[in-house]
Chains A and B, each alone.
Chain A
Amino acid sequence: MLTEEFDPLEGKQLRILDERGEVIAPELEPALGPEVLTNAYRTMVLARVADEKAVVLQRQGRLGAYPPNRGQEAASLGPAMAMGPDDWLVWSFRELSALLWRGLPLEKYLLAWMGHEEGNRYEGGLRITPPAIPVGSQYAYAAGLAYASRYRHEQAVTFAYTGDGGTSEGDFHESVNAAGVFRLPMVMVIQNNQWAISVPRSRQTASPTLAQKACAYGIPGIQVDGNDLLAMYAAAAEARERAMRGDGPTLIEAYTYRLGDHTTSDDARKYRLEAELKEWEPRDPLIRLRAYLISKGFLDEPRDLKVWEEARRLTEEAVTAAEAVPAPTLEEVFAYTYADMPPSLAEQLDRLRRELGGQR
């Protein structure tokens, strides 16, 4: 068991690929075929390209404040690759690659950050919750989703993401604790990107790792190199199996790095040393996966170029589609407060309609 072999209390971290994409733990290399691996690479590239595009759109005033994902594509994608068809994905706000892997149309994602609730209308029964901006709070409803899945005897595990800052919130502790008490089918992923806006990881907790928080709640925890897609997948796959066996939740700390700013409203140069960034840039999860795929013979230069071209095309198409969605009408901003609009609210709508005249 990886969680025993890589005990966070002994300061161990699960790694399968090194920074050059070479397999350093061949016995742990997951048997993912070429198709899955190249799809994973495509997803990470699309996430990277779309993410960079979103930042540009924000600068152009075409998208609102936006939290970049750059550098965290493997930490977010690896667990998603371990998910089963009926599993719930409970994300925070920096999990684009996981969303894409689970089938969320990119245009929906962009539309939400453009400031439109229609972007969170996930159709086709996608088991994905909306973004959770109050950090850590999503773990509580994730526990409820997991409880419901088990109650209904579904073959479903709830995957819940948060960040290192989220681990300081009461909701994180209440929920991880409850997940342990009820042995809920959950995989809890902490994307430890080392910074909660300007506050470093060392200011969130005196614990040497975040993974070891699991020990106090009586559940397994593991720290994983979050920029190593194979390691993230392997840890999550084992955790999912454990949950499906009825052996309860697992806490996975993805040790990664936020290469971008917290959001487009932030300037990380104010509080973060350039040297630290330079140290992390070569550990970029994309570089690593590409090198691994090339060494496996699953990718070469011409095919790689095509992947990036395709990502740019898909991103442009998604931007066009998202920008074509009209702003909500006055009626639409009222319509979803309750299942049926109460008379007192209908009166307010009528009054506002009269006051604002024919404005669209």
Chain B
Amino acid sequence: MTTMNMVQALNAALAEEMERDDRVIVLGEDVGRDGGVFRVTEGLFDRFGPERVVDTPLAESLIVGMATGMAMAGLRPVAEIQFMGFSYLAMSMLISHTARMRNRTRGTLTAPMVMRMPYGAGVKALEHHSESTEALYVQIPGLKVVVPATPREAKGLLLASIRDPDPVIFLEPTRSYRLFKEEVEDGADALPLGRARTVKEGDDLTVVGWGAMMPLIQEAVDAAEGEGTSCEVIDLRTLSPMDSATVVSSVRRTGRAVVVQEAPMTCGVAAELVARINEQALLSLEAPVERVTAPDITVPLPRGEKWYYITPDRIYNAIRRTASF
């Protein structure tokens, strides 16, 4: 056991997996000597050399395309996109080739790669560095979309993503990179993809979120529970394929739910989750399912970010409204 933050946990996952499997190659901008702008790949260049820790030209479509080709040839590339706001340049590659390679060749060529990137606001970053556009990726059949919430989760889910036979979009909450530490097992096992995690059990209401929202949810839930509302907290972990079964079975029991999403409201992952709750748990519902999301506006620059970013208060108020409906 070692106590580490999320950056260290991700670094440990990469190092352990590269040690274990020489098919794993890391590529991206500044991932080599610099160790990545957030230091997730720190030390890998010295340890595994320039053939396996590859500084690429500054070209996102190329990075994802090259990773796709490497994966088609049997390697297990992990491509880093420096910020989610720069990932759209690779969108065509992902949609046109990576995501559909298995289907269009009936499984004779596949693209088992990981596209890692930091996402999310709340860190007073430059423009284009605060995006949370996970729903764009969830819309693409053939991709998996994974978002860890804690250091331990980050390590286990990244290991699973690298080993997964399908391409995985791995979204790392920038705000949680160094927010807190926890005990992480050396040589940890991979965690399952496609399965939500019940963070804590409760009876009165279900709160669902993922990634950077989890610490905020925890804060809100602590306040609500202090007032006697017992909350079940679920970390969705994998946005695609979505484990709605865990959420639905919880809501069938609690009868109430709040879904928290950092991204803008319309057609977000929360909307899909609410639709599934309505389809499968309507008769158990005691209250409308509430969403706590960002508004449908461009992420404000740091001085206006306070109006945009989800606060524990907003989540707490949604819990109160839903619990007392």
The reply to whether B69 and A142 contact each other, CB–CB distance below 8 Å, is yes
Q: Which residues of A contact B187 (CB under 8 A)?
A: none
Instruction: Tell me the residues in window 302-351 of chain A with beta carbons closer than 8 Å to chain B beta carbons.
Output: 336-340, 342-345
- Chain A residue nearest to B101 (CB atoms) is A130
> Which of B106-114, B174-182, B259-267, B294-302 forms part of the interface with chain A?
B106-114
- Within the complex, what minimum Cβ distance (angstroms) separates B33 from chain A? 16
> Which of B12-20, B53-61, B303-311 forms part of the interface with chain A?
B53-61
The reply to whether B65 and A140 contact each other, CB–CB distance below 8 Å, is yes
> Chain A's interface: helix, strand, loop or mixed, by majority?
helix
B8: CB under 8 A from chain A? no
Instruction: Tell me the residues in window 109-152 of chain A with beta carbons closer than 8 Å to chain B beta carbons.
Output: 117-118, 120-123, 129-130, 132, 134, 137-149, 151-152
- Within the complex, what minimum Cβ distance (angstroms) separates B213 from chain A? 21
The reply to whether B108 and A123 contact each other, CB–CB distance below 8 Å, is yes
The reply to whether A144 and B69 contact each other, CB–CB distance below 8 Å, is yes
Instruction: Known contacts A132-B97, A339-B110, A345-B241; decide if A144 and B61 are in contact (CB<8 Å).
Output: no
The reply to whether A140 and B64 contact each other, CB–CB distance below 8 Å, is yes
**When each residue 153-191 of chain A gets 1 if its CB lies under 8 Å from chain B and 0 otherwise, what string results?**
000000000000000001100110110010000000000
B31: CB under 8 A from chain A? no
Question: Which listed residue (A134, A138, A151, A177) contacts B57, Cβ 8 A?
Answer: A177
B103: CB under 8 A from chain A? yes
The reply to whether B62 and A118 contact each other, CB–CB distance below 8 Å, is no
Q: Which residues of B contact A175 (CB under 8 A)?
A: 62, 65
- Within the complex, what minimum Cβ distance (angstroms) separates B322 from chain A? 25
The reply to whether B25 and A121 contact each other, CB–CB distance below 8 Å, is no
B93: CB under 8 A from chain A? yes
The reply to whether B70 and A343 contact each other, CB–CB distance below 8 Å, is no
Instruction: Known contacts A141-B65, A144-B66, A339-B166; decide if A130 and B96 are in contact (CB<8 Å).
Output: no
Q: Which residues of A contact B85 (CB under 8 A)?
A: none
- Chain B residue nearest to A88 (CB atoms) is B73
Q: Which residues of B contact A130 (CB under 8 A)?
A: 101, 104-105, 109
The reply to whether B165 and A344 contact each other, CB–CB distance below 8 Å, is no
Question: Which listed residue (B61, B67, B242) contacts A344, Cβ 8 A?
Answer: B242
The reply to whether A171 and B102 contact each other, CB–CB distance below 8 Å, is no
- Within the complex, what minimum Cβ distance (angstroms) separates A60 from chain B? 25
Question: Which listed residue (B59, B77, B103) contacts A117, Cβ 8 A?
Answer: B103
B3: CB under 8 A from chain A? no
Bound-state CA distance A339–B109 (Å) is 11
B142: CB under 8 A from chain A? yes
Instruction: Known contacts A148-B75, A338-B102, A344-B241; decide if A140 and B66 are in contact (CB<8 Å).
Output: yes
The reply to whether A140 and B62 contact each other, CB–CB distance below 8 Å, is yes
Bound-state CA distance A151–B67 (Å) is 13
- Within the complex, what minimum Cβ distance (angstroms) separates B260 from chain A? 21
Q: Which residues of A contact B164 (CB under 8 A)?
A: 339
Bound-state CA distance A141–B242 (Å) is 29
Bound-state CA distance A307–B75 (Å) is 43
The reply to whether B66 and A147 contact each other, CB–CB distance below 8 Å, is yes
Q: Which residues of B contact A132 (CB under 8 A)?
A: 96-97
The reply to whether A338 and B105 contact each other, CB–CB distance below 8 Å, is no
B122: CB under 8 A from chain A? no
Bound-state CA distance A149–B59 (Å) is 22
B150: CB under 8 A from chain A? no
- Within the complex, what minimum Cβ distance (angstroms) separates A57 from chain B? 21
Question: Which listed residue (B69, B109, B243) contacts A143, Cβ 8 A?
Answer: B69
Q: Which residues of B contact A117 (CB under 8 A)?
A: 103-106
- Chain B residue nearest to A333 (CB atoms) is B103
Bound-state CA distance A122–B96 (Å) is 19
Q: Which residues of A contact B69 (CB under 8 A)?
A: 140-148
Please name 19 further chain A to chain B contacts, defined as beta carbons within 8 Å, in addition to the given A141-B68, A148-B73, A339-B102, sorted by A numbering. Answer: A118-B106, A130-B104, A134-B92, A137-B61, A141-B93, A142-B69, A144-B68, A145-B69, A146-B69, A147-B69, A151-B25, A174-B59, A177-B62, A336-B107, A337-B103, A340-B165, A343-B243, A344-B243, A344-B244
Closest 9 pairs (CB-CB, A-B): A144-B69, A140-B65, A342-B241, A148-B73, A141-B69, A339-B165, A174-B62, A144-B66, A121-B106
Could you pull out 5 A-B pairs where Cβ atoms are within 8 angstroms?
A130-B104, A137-B97, A140-B62, A141-B72, A337-B102
